[in-house]
Structure 1
Amino acid sequence: MTKEVNPKLILNKPTRKYTLEEYLRKEANSIHKHEFINGEIIKMPNARYNHNLIAMNIAIDLSYQTENSDKNYQILGSDQKVYFPSLDEGVYADALAVCEKPLFWDNDDLLLINPILVVEVLSKSTQKYDRTGKFDKYKTLESFKEYVMIRQDICYAEVWYRERPGLWHETIVTNIEGKLPLQSLGVEISMKRIYKNVSF
């Protein structure tokens, strides 16, 4: 006689928790990207063409504009993990900047802990998380000074700059002829460059 299983017990089955080391091992062998949140390994949604194009446009322009800066800014793309030591969590950004020397958790160059600027390209499935939960995670990093959110369906860029601990200044640009000021790097990016070859 087959024992009937209560479906409620299946639905309430505890989620498997992983350590950071287990996450890194699994991620190294995975064909997909995953974030490490609250001990869980969470698959990231696939990025669409406009998303990838915008992220690349920004990374290229930031790299070009900071090339002759007095400071050594390093611009990285979407494959660099950012780790939050106080939370024991790790995520990917769409683009980011480091000032002078990159610092890594436990000397592991997979786990960057000192971005000065982070860029996220918003999508329907992730924009709520990017605006709130993910922003709050970045705020736990002492180095973090500026957060850029770009919409891919319309011309819209939102920047939050940390003027001092606990005080953030918001700038929104919606004009394709406008420029997006990035105070942490001392540069401006034209909206035309951000949306180059993007079709809404």
Structure 2
Amino acid sequence: MIASPQLQWISPQEYLEWEPMQQLRHEYIDGEVFAMTGGTKPHNRIALNLVTALDSHLAQSSCEVYISDVKVQVATANSYYYPDVVVTCDPRDRESNSIIQHPCLIVEVLSPSTEAYDRGGKFARYRQLETLQEYILIDSEQIGVDCFRRNEQGLWVLYPYATEDTITLASVGLSIPVAALYRQVKFETNKAES
């Protein structure tokens, strides 16, 4: 979802003033601004399935779930991102209508163009969020879910899930079958010929 840089270096304040006036969403990474590209139907359906389950599960709690139009600020990395799904249970996040600073759960639905960055540089920045307990990566081209969970020692442990598994989101106390995340998802069987 990250495209080429759109502007020369700008400050975080300039980004926060400029970005709401744009037609496209833009992520900010240490002075550089990147346009966000559109997703696919599988990408959208997977995010929708998860958000629906989370919203229902969290309805009676103080936690809030948001989809791809709410920014997460990683202040220590001088970055702002638009994750596919984010959950916060921190009352400090109620002070802003557009930015989450204290998430407990972040989910990215992977696409071929973003997978390496979502697993690498973006995850390295997200790990700097002290409140983040889980980082979930969901494949949009085949069934597969990777859950990275921070353990008691502060280390990130990988829990991979397959079709027949039930994923446990410990940060919010939700268990959901992997198959439910992929409900109504149709994978592309034949790639278009060039």
**1:66 matches 2:58:** yes
Residue of structure 2 aligned with 1:169, choices 157, 161, 164:
157
- Number of equivalences: 181
Q: 1:51-130 alignment to 2 at 5 Å?
A: 51-68=43-60, 71-103=61-93, 108-130=96-118
**1:37 matches 2:29:** yes
**Superposition deviation, residue 100 in structure 1:** 4.4
Residue of structure 1 aligned with 2:136, choices 136, 148, 151:
148
For 1:80 and 1:102, locate their aligned partners in 2 and report how far apart those are by CA, in whole Å: 15
**Superposition deviation, residue 108 in structure 1:** 4.4
Could you list the per-position Cα deviations for residues 38-89 of structure 1 after superposition, in whole angstroms to 9, with x for gaps in the alignment? 2011111211111111111111111112334xx5221111111001111221
For 1:108 and 1:65, locate their aligned partners in 2 and report how far apart those are by CA, in whole Å: 23
Give identity over the alignment, percent.
31
**1:137 matches 2:125:** yes
RMSD: 1.6
1:81–1:90 contact (8 Å) kept in structure 2? yes
**Superposition deviation, residue 120 in structure 1:** 0.2
For 1:31 and 1:102, locate their aligned partners in 2 and report how far apart those are by CA, in whole Å: 29
**Superposition deviation, residue 102 in structure 1:** 4.2
Unaligned segments of structure 1, at least 5 residues? 1-14
Report the 3-state secondary structure (helix = DSSP H, G, I; strand = E; otherwise coil) of the residue aligned with 1:164. Answer: coil
Report the 3-state secondary structure (helix = DSSP H, G, I; strand = E; otherwise coil) of the residue aligned with 1:58. Answer: helix
TM norm structure 2: 0.87
**Superposition deviation, residue 94 in structure 1:** 0.2
Residue of structure 1 aligned with 2:168, choices 169, 174, 181:
181
Report the 3-state secondary structure (helix = DSSP H, G, I; strand = E; otherwise coil) of the residue aligned with 1:46. Answer: coil
2:90–2:102 contact (8 Å) kept in structure 1? no
The structure 1 segments of at least 4 consecutive aligned residues displaced by more than 4 Å after TM superposition are none
For 2:160 and 2:147, locate their aligned partners in 1 and report how far apart those are by CA, in whole Å: 6
Larger radius of gyration: 1
